[in-house]
Amino acid sequence: MAEQTSNPWYRFIDDDIEARARMGVGFTNLISTRPYALAPETLRGFEDRNAVIREFQRITRDVFLASLHGEADPAIAETILTGQPPERGRQFHLELTDRHLALPLYFRTDEPAPGAIAEVQCPASGWEIADQVHALYRAFPDDFDAGERRFAPLIDTLAASLRARFGDDLVIHHLTGNASRPHGVHYTVQRLREAGIRHFGWDAVHWKDCGFVRAHEFYDLRYNGFFDQWMEACAQGELVFDHPPMPLYDAKVTMAWPFWSKAREFYPDEVRGIFPHTEIITPEGFHLPDGTWITLDEYCRLGQGKRRYYVKFGSHHPTLNWGSRAVYHTGSFSGPALRGLFDRICADTAAGHPWVAQDAALLAEPAAAVSRSGEEVKFDGYTKLSAFYTPEGLSGVMAMQERAQKVHGSPQTVVSAAY
């Protein structure tokens, strides 16, 4: 249950969540004392990156298919296929139609500094958090100076986009079983239902009425009992997947492809420039941003302050590739502890589950919040910005701030929406 509070901000946002999710969770972060102010050039950067991200997704899909068909290095596709069970392996991908291979529609970025994308998730969690914070700002206009660059409530923008693309009779099947924030998905579903968009399992509709399927990841899609029927309906043009029915968009290893000698030639510098330098970790080592090769033992011997990389599970295993799991800042480890982590990484690599090393991009900023008890919370920490995109473009930006360099959703995370 949500912790009781006398603070009117938390009371409002808890009640807003409970009225829709009916799960007793409430708001699980700290509320910033102000919206996050985006400089005009930063806002333009988020707007412009939409097209570049979609180009990255298109190239990555096409490179994967070329590798699968022997028209590019087979090792590229193997970073996705190795370790997959037969029912979602090579033959499964060879049989996908153009409709199955459509690109993601709705997604979120995580940017530890503006313009340095550490991850792209489809459709991602957090849409509801930004929407809830927007609702708070509107409920307490005298407390929050929202400035002039007002985004519309995020889920209102999502609903308008869905209607524009699929029409007013759209029925959605949104899977919640493997979501990282089930209460958040329930909130989003109810907000969309309030906007008149029906959902299987909540409204009096048949599964055959569904024209849009949403899920947190491919694993959730592939092992759902409706999967074969969805795939047939998609091939016939009667259904669209938000998360395409393939593991390509779950695997962080694809962020290394623009830098990897086997795939680099397919990506223009503009695409490469939206990511921090990202490398596939091998038992022999990996490249530093300046191109220097370093062995794992040599990297472990570097001083902690010189270890700039994060290491991230880059494969598709559903227990590790979401919720900030299996993401570690190497500068926080002692040398022996890091060597132990690399041993685990090498074992995963041998089993077909690659890890990546990604150069750290950091945005150090002060944070200010109010706790549930009404106490002021201030600290010098780090900011992560998440941009939310529909096919029409940028629909909102959320800021999360923590004392630690690894910023993710926790009870100590300060949250604000950008204006």
Burial class (CB in 10 A: 0-12, 13-18, 19+), 228: exposed
pTM: 0.95
Which pLDDT does position 6 carry in this prediction? Answer: 80
Would you say 15 and 8 are in contact if contact means Cβ atoms under 8 Å apart?
Answer: no
What distance in Å separates the CA atoms of residue 398 and residue 415, rounded to the nearest whole number?
7
Q: What is residue 408's predicted lDDT score, i.e. its pLDDT?
A: 83
**CB–CB of 58/248 below 8 Å?**
no
Residue 321 is predicted with a pLDDT of: 61
Q: Mean pLDDT check: name the lowest of 133-137, 397-401, 408-412.
A: 408-412
Residue 330 has pLDDT above 70, yes or no: yes
CB 381, CB 406: distance < 8 Å: no
The rounded mean pLDDT for the chain is: 93
Written as one letter, the residue type at 291 is G
Cα(133)–Cα(148) distance, rounded to whole angstroms? 17
171-174 and 198-199 beta bridge pairing: parallel
pLDDT of amino acid 322: 60
pLDDT at 163 over 80: yes
Residue 1 has pLDDT above 60, yes or no: no
Predicted confidence band of residue 149 (pLDDT cuts 50, 70, 90): low
With beta carbons less than 8 A apart as the criterion, state whether 244 and 101 touch.
yes
- Token pair 């991200």 is found at 53
pLDDT at position 146 over 70: no
Predicted local distance difference test score (pLDDT) of residue 368: 97
| Bridge partners for 120 per DSSP | 109
pLDDT in tens, 28-61: 999 999 999 999 999 999 999 999 999 999 999 9
Annotate 279-317 with b (16+ C-beta within 10 A) or e (fewer).
bbbeeebbbbeeeeebebeebbebeeeebbbbbbbbbbb
Segment 160-169 mean pLDDT: 97
Cα 326 to Cα 89, 343, 368, 392, distances in angstroms: 24, 14, 29, 33
